[in-house]
């Protein structure tokens, strides 16, 4: 792999005032921060565009129509790869993720360039129990689909991905464009032999009066996740011999350490 070169990538769909705060917090921690505005109509991108005019470390991309989180991330990843970046730390635009941990996550990615660094969420009192319990189901399935290769949390979007393998995977299938992006990316990267490294990170759930926005729709997005896990289980069965081999060598590696 070439010398690691990393950026922060923020997909944003109608994130309100939190977008600018998130961008400022990320820029304070990292020299390259790119935002992909995913067909937003709430005007939240205007101050970011303004700031980008005088800040060469900040770039803003715009998708004319809302295309989904995964599609927004893919747009940014392609541009980042063309600009010579090797790793992307994705973070949500809505103030839920800890910008202060960007350097630690980037350092972990540089220490192991062919791994992915997955945030392991530490929930506070503010986290809705329905969401906390719900994700255990997705995590359980992700572990089945990877034969327990070590995905700590399947859904948390604060992660460092190696760009080239992720783009290859996304261009090879038509899914992973919406809310199904984060879990499917982790599972398919595991299948491709990318080792997951789990690092703890606090997650906040902001109330609407604090500027919190969520586009998660319980029925719609859980349907999407159910369909996603169905195809991932089928994918796992089709790759079983290869995955058993991968699991065996991961176990041997862990015993050696
Ligand atoms: N849901 C959604 N998010 C998008 C879309 N495009 C970009 N995003 C961004 O993807 C990130 C995650 O979206 P959220 O709706 O906050 O999803 P989440 O954080 O998993 O759900 P909550 O925990 O309820 O906030 C945010 O930065 C969004 O702005 C889209 O079409 N739909
Ligand atoms: Mg969110």
Token pair, residue 89, equals: 């730390």
Closest residue to atom 30 of ligand 1, CA basis: 68
pLDDT-derived band at 140 (thresholds 50, 70, 90) equals very high
Does the beta carbon of 96 lie inside 6 Å of ligand 1?
yes
Confidence at residue 62, expressed as pLDDT on a 0 to 100 scale: 98
pTM of the model: 0.96
| Nearest C-alpha neighbor of 206 from the set 103, 120, 93 | 93
Residue pLDDT, tens place only, 219-253: 898 899 999 999 999 999 999 999 999 999 998 98
Ligand 1, from 20, 41, 94: best to mutate by most atoms within 8 Å of Cβ? 94
| Percent of the chain clearing pLDDT 90 (strictly above) | 89
Note the CATH architecture for domain 6-256: Alpha-Beta Complex (3.90)
Does the beta carbon of 121 lie inside 6 Å of ligand 1?
no
Residue boundaries of the structural domains of the chain: 6-256
Does the beta carbon of 15 lie inside 6 Å of ligand 1?
yes
Q: Rounded to whole angstroms, how far apart are CA atoms 226 and 122?
A: 24
Residue 147 · residue 34 · CB < 8 Å: no
Rounded (10°) angle between helices 181-191 and 69-82? 50
Q: Would the pLDDT of 1 be above 80?
A: no
């Amino acid at each position: 792999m070439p010398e690691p070169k990393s950026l922060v990538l923020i997909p944003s769909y109608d994130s309100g005032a939190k977008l600018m705060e998130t961008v400022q917090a990320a820029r304070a921690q990292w020299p390259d921060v790119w935002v992909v505005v995913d067909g937003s109509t709430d005007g939240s991108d205007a101050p970011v565009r303004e700031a980008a005019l005088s800040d060469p470390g900040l770039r803003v991309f715009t998708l004319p129509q809302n295309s989904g989180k995964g599609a927004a991330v893919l747009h940014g990843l392609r541009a980042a790869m063309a600009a010579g970046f090797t790793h992307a730390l994705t973070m949500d635009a809505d103030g839920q993720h800890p910008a202060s941990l960007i350097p630690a996550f980037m350092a972990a990615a540089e220490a192991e360039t062919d791994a992915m660094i997955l945030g392991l969420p530490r929930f506070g009192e503010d986290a809705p129990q329905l969401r906390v319990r719900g994700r255990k189901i997705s995590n359980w399935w992700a572990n089945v689909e990877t034969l327990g290769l070590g995905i700590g949390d399947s859904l948390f979007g604060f992660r460092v991905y190696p760009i080239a393998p992720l783009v290859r995977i996304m261009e090879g299938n038509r899914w992973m464009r919406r809310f199904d992006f984060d879990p499917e990316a982790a599972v398919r990267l595991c299948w491709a032999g990318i080792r997951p490294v789990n690092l703890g990170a606090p997650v906040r759930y902001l109330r609407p009066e604090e500027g919190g926005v969520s586009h998660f729709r319980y029925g719609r997005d859980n349907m999407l996740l159910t369909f996603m896990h169905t195809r991932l289980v089928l994918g796992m069965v089709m790759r079983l011999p290869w995955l058993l081999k991968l699991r065996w060598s991961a176990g041997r590696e862990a015993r050696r350490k």
